[in-house]
Amino acid sequence: MSELIKTLAEKLNISTTYTYMAGGGVKECTASDDLLRFLIEDMGYSAKSDEDIEKSLERLEKRRWQKAMDAIYVCRENKLCFDIVLREEEIGSNVDVFYSKEGQEDFLKLNVEFKPAEKKQDGHSAYVRLEAKILNKLKPDYYELKVKTIKGEYHSVLAVAPLQCYALDKKGKEKLFGFAMQLYSLKSKHNWGVGDFSDLKQAVELLADSGGDVIGLNPLNVLLNDYPEAASPYASISRLFLNPIYIDVENVPEYQKGDKNVAAVNAAKAKENIDYTAVYNLKIKALRAIYERFINKGNTAYAKEFAEFKDKDEGDLQRLAVFQAIAHERFLRGGRFDKAEEIELGSALGSGVNAFAKAHEKEVDFFKFLQFEADRQLRLVKKEIDKRKLVIGLYRDLPVGVSKDSAEVWSDRYLYIQRSGAGAPPDNYFPTGQKWGLGAFNPRELKERCYKPFIRILRANMKYAGAVRIDHIMGLSRLFIIPDDGQEGTYIRYNAEDMMNILALESYLNKCVVVGECIGNVEAGYTESLLKRGIYLLGVLWSERKDENGTMETPDEYEEKYFASVGTHDMPPLKAWWFGREIDTMHRLGLYTDEEMRRAYHWREHERRLLLDTLDREGVWPKDNLRHGDYMYGENYPEGMDEAVHAYMAKTKSEVFMLMPEDIFQSEKIQNLPGTDVDKYPNWRSKQVIDLEDMKDSNAYQRHINIVKKYR
């Protein structure tokens, strides 16, 4: 590797080497010069030749000296500081610093201590970079900084973060429990074939009646309007807005019975797996009829509420709706525009966007209506949560990235790395790595925007929530990036300190607990650093092992700051795990060789023995359904084992335990089989075994809830 290109890459936060877990050990990979050149160019710097690299390094060196202050300074409340570059003659006079809470006009003077850090001569001018320590105490919040010298004024933003994220107030309860569910998977007698916000409200009522306090959900973000089968909740077109498929059409104020195609709805509900195309199109057709009806009525209370919703928009809603209207027009034309239209409408800055929006104003307004109604119905869920006084309520899920074919990327292309997407390096499960193709923030551009795009996404997903799960939280520190047209990748690093402090500040301001998902390849000491910041972790039964033999931790060895569960949406439910259903599926799909399948089954047999021994040791088998044998060879699923597992998990020290309905009702369907698309496996399409209305009175539900409440 060229030393020059290595130096430039590292200054741009591009990793030149990285390690990954594979074959039972740690391996090191060195990024090729070609990959580094590509990523450097993608970040706006030239690296075609050594001369280009030297010029780019010089350009980088000059950046900090070309402006007085950075766009933003992110500090913890116990260490308030910033730096400023001034001409030498400015320093000899008074340098006064003022602050104002963001959005207010009055500035107050700060007591600041300056210390020279660096000096640079540029022609006849000498510049000094001063490090400034603020001696005042400031509450966590966003402030505008103003520095006055004899030469003028300089401005920046100061973000003051608390030392930790918002702390969980258990309101006198010792340990909490709740459901971890995929909203789309819920069956009910009233929904149209996909779980909806009325189902969620009903689940809140069920949970409250059962003594629980939290409902964990899949990401609720909006997906492609014209391709409903692109159903992965982790590849949205905007993490700022909601998926209209969760609207309960019959709960819209202007709904009429004729809006529902009863036969088509019943046909969709009768299918084994979710038919997203059928359900989504049925809902959109009905919602279009409702929209036409209510806008023609004029100035109703509902119309006024819609107008108020639109008036609060600061631009993101308009951009989403215009993006969706453009995408829909392209879809109606067979999926393509002509070359001129692609250029004119290819980004929010396109020359034809405003004219298109004006010509399609009604269609744009309809997409805004979908967001209004989705938000209204989710707000009703929050109202029920507050009424029932749940300690946490909704526990929402924030994906690590966004689809590259998304409103977010379309709205602000230069905020994202242009020709590359997020993925994952090789590991024991995926020896060739994973190419997700998700849009990834450009670290430098993100800071120049004062982290506002990140802040808006956090706020949107903390809305109505008592907790938020940050998918792949290590992505706030680094993301594995792979060029769109290649397979080799490497990490780009973000300003982890800034990102974590912004996360803590938004958690504090929104009174929202933060949970970090970091299962898999985790850097040494990373989980400990999260706990110090007051971030909860996932404590998953299948991952909590003490040694290479797979020995399971005792309940007392679980962390208190865990949201504990048996598995996740990427893991098989308990009954499917017992029989190794995912092993068989991966072998059938060619993802496992015969030998890999044999090894996996052999290890699963070992794990089953470990689990049975652990449940014996903890004495958690139900007294009326004790263990009858080893259940190893040709025997059925162990009766009472799922209850015993939930008792074991309920006993852990973890403050929160999440039950999955799939485990309660012994589902054998896997919600998502990582590494596969819908052409191979019906990911994100499995329905629950039982209708929501029938859960409470079922024997299985009552037994599981009672055994969990015994220990919580």
Taking each helix axis from N to C end, the angle separating 699-711 and 641-651, rounded to the nearest 10 degrees, works out to: 30
> What is the pLDDT, as a whole number, of residue 122?
82
Q: What is the mean pLDDT of the segment spanning 227-245?
A: 96
- Better-scored residue on pLDDT, 465 or 102: 465
Where does the pLDDT of residue 424 fall: very low under 50, low under 70, confident under 90, or very high at 90 and above? confident
Cβ neighbors of 167 (< 8 A, separation 6 or more) are 513, 534
- DSSP, res 441: B
The residue extents of the domains of the chain are 3-64, 78-161, 170-200+210-390
> What is the pLDDT, as a whole number, of residue 429?
61
User: What secondary structure does DSSP assign to 237-285, as a single string?
Assistant: SEEEEE-GGG--GGGSTT--GGG--HHHHHHHHHSSB--HHHHHHHHHH
In what helix (H) or strand (E) does residue 97 lie, and over which residues does it extend?
strand 96-101
> What is the pLDDT, as a whole number, of residue 434?
81
Q: What is the mean pLDDT of the segment spanning 371-375?
A: 98
Please, what is the average pLDDT of the chain? 94
> What is the pLDDT, as a whole number, of residue 521?
66
Q: Which of 50-54, 551-555, 676-680 has the lowest mean pLDDT?
A: 676-680
- DSSP, res 134: E
Other CB atoms within 10 Å distance of the CB of residue 240 = 24
On the question of pLDDT at 559 being above 80, the answer is yes
- Better-scored residue on pLDDT, 259 or 21: 259
> What is the pLDDT, as a whole number, of residue 102?
79
Residues 588-636 pLDDT 10s: 999 899 999 999 999 999 999 999 999 999 999 999 988 877 776 667 8
Reading the block at residue 57, the tokens are: 């390094």
Other CB atoms within 10 Å distance of the CB of residue 378 = 22
Taking each helix axis from N to C end, the angle separating 276-297 and 301-311, rounded to the nearest 10 degrees, works out to: 110
Q: Residue 270, exposed/middle/buried by CB under 10 A (0-12, 13-18, 19+)?
A: exposed
> What is the pLDDT, as a whole number, of residue 430?
66
- DSSP, res 191: S
> What is the pLDDT, as a whole number, of residue 97?
96
Other CB atoms within 10 Å distance of the CB of residue 62 = 11
Residues 652-675 pLDDT 10s: 999 999 999 999 999 999 999 987
Q: What is the mean pLDDT of the segment spanning 685-705?
A: 97
The b/e string for 598-608 (b: 16+ C-beta within 10 A; e otherwise) is eebeeebeebb
Q: What is the pTM of this model?
A: 0.95
Reading the block at residue 181, the tokens are: 């569910």
Where does the pLDDT of residue 689 fall: very low under 50, low under 70, confident under 90, or very high at 90 and above? very high
Residues above pLDDT 90, as percent of the chain:
85
- Alpha-carbon distance of 455 to 461, in angstroms, equals 10
Residues 286-298 pLDDT 10s: 999 999 999 988 7
User: Residue type at 544?
Assistant: E
Same fold, 78-161 and 170-200+210-390: no
Residues 166-176 pLDDT 10s: 999 999 999 99
Q: What is the CATH number of domain 170-200+210-390?
A: 3.20.20.80
> What is the pLDDT, as a whole number, of residue 478?
93
Residues 307-363 pLDDT 10s: 999 999 999 999 999 999 999 999 999 999 999 999 999 999 999 999 999 999 999
> What is the pLDDT, as a whole number, of residue 23?
63
What is the pairing mode between strands 125-134 and 112-122? Answer: antiparallel
- Alpha-carbon distance of 450 to 156, in angstroms, equals 9
> What is the pLDDT, as a whole number, of residue 576?
96
> What is the pLDDT, as a whole number, of residue 631?
73
In what helix (H) or strand (E) does residue 650 lie, and over which residues does it extend?
helix 641-651
On the question of pLDDT at 578 being above 90, the answer is yes
Topology (CATH level 3) of domain 78-161:
Immunoglobulin-like (2.60.40)
User: Residue type at 14?
Assistant: I
Residues 253-278 pLDDT 10s: 999 999 999 999 999 999 999 999 99
